[in-house]
């Protein structure tokens, strides 16, 4: 079945509801060397080691147990955050994002039960008008924050032609989503190592129909050929990072960590092009 990652249908990966220059490259740290232990097939990580990984929150909509977290997001400017378009749809939030009074970005918080870090209100939400909820093409939105994030909480983005997009490149995805594919949501931030996969693999896995349609011009294929490491429900909008640069936003897939069903990410080079951010170097 098709899921975007609040991952619901061939799933966007969003959690289901319980009731300013923009750098193209930066010295953002590469994923630290942490042993794999337990995103699906991942390991725990501190927010300080990926300060640009932030959570979208609405306690009114999703409850307070996990700080209201329902999606991931990534800081690409001190007041500019990218997330998945499907994360801020009315079907997820219950109303237009501008009418959600407690929509916030949580930064610098490893454990969602804690009060560490910042909770910053979202001042403005811009959703890609070309987003197609059927194919999941163009699955990105830009959030403008009411307060600035720290300077080190920003990651650079990989423009078109960057070698970070090459197949077999090692990459890491970050989030607070389901760690098993069975509704097991952690309180603390996780990461999973994987590889950028060839477009051909995702074109074969998602040729069209119920499981979705892969488009190489706007999407990126990542995971492991044998499955086991993947983003999952609740990770939508979170970052996929390779060679210290943002290359993808968690978007959709079929199941979580299944062999033959890689994760599909919004291709960040397409986001840069659509928003005209090539000039912001």
46's tokens: 């501190």
196's tokens: 């950028």
Number of other residues whose CB lies within 10 A of the CB of residue 234? 31
Respond yes or no: is residue 270 known to be catalytic: no
Respond yes or no: is residue 217 known to be catalytic: no
Q: Which of 50, 58, 86, 269 is catalytic?
A: 86
Element (H, E) at 93: helix 90-93
Q: Which of 50, 57, 236, 251 is catalytic?
A: 236
10's tokens: 């061939």
Q: Which of 111, 139, 230, 270 is catalytic?
A: 139
Respond yes or no: is residue 139 known to be catalytic: yes
48's tokens: 């300080």
CA distance linking residue 191 with residue 125, whole number of Å = 26
Write the DSSP string, 204-261: HH-BSSTT-B--TTTEEEEE-TT---B--TT-TT-EEEETTEEEEEEEE-SSSS-TT-
Instruction: Give catalytic residue positions.
Output: 86, 139, 236
């Amino acid at each position: 079945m098709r899921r975007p990652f609040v991952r619901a249908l061939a799933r966007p990966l969003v959690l289901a509801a319980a009731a300013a220059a923009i750098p193209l490259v930066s010295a953002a740290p590469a994923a630290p060397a942490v042993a794999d232990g337990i995103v699906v097939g991942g390991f725990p990580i501190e927010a300080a080691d990926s300060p640009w990984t932030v959570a979208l929150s609405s306690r009114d909509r999703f409850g307070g147990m996990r700080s209201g977290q329902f999606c991931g997001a990534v800081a690409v400017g001190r007041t500019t955050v990218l997330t998945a378009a499907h994360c801020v749809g009315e079907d997820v939030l219950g109303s237009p994002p501008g009418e959600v009074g407690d929509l916030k970005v949580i930064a610098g918080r490893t454990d969602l039960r804690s009060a560490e870090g910042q909770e910053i209100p979202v001042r403005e939400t811009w959703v890609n008008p070309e987003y197609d909820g059927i194919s999941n093409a163009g699955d990105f939105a830009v959030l403008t924050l009411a307060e600035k994030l720290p300077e080190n909480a920003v990651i650079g983005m990989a423009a078109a032609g960057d070698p970070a997009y090459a197949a077999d490149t090692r990459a890491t995805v970050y989030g607070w989503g389901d760690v098993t594919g069975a509704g097991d949501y952690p309180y603390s931030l996780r990461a999973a190592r994987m590889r950028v996969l060839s477009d051909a693999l995702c074109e074969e896995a998602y040729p069209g129909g119920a499981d979705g349609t892969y488009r190489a011009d706007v999407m990126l294929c990542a995971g492991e050929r044998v499955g086991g490491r993947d983003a999952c429900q609740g990770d939508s909008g979170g970052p996929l990072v390779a060679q210290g640069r943002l290359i993808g936003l968690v978007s959709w897939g079929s199941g979580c960590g299944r062999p033959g069903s890689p994760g599909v990410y919004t291709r960040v080079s397409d986001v840069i092009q659509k928003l005209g951010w090539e000039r912001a170097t």
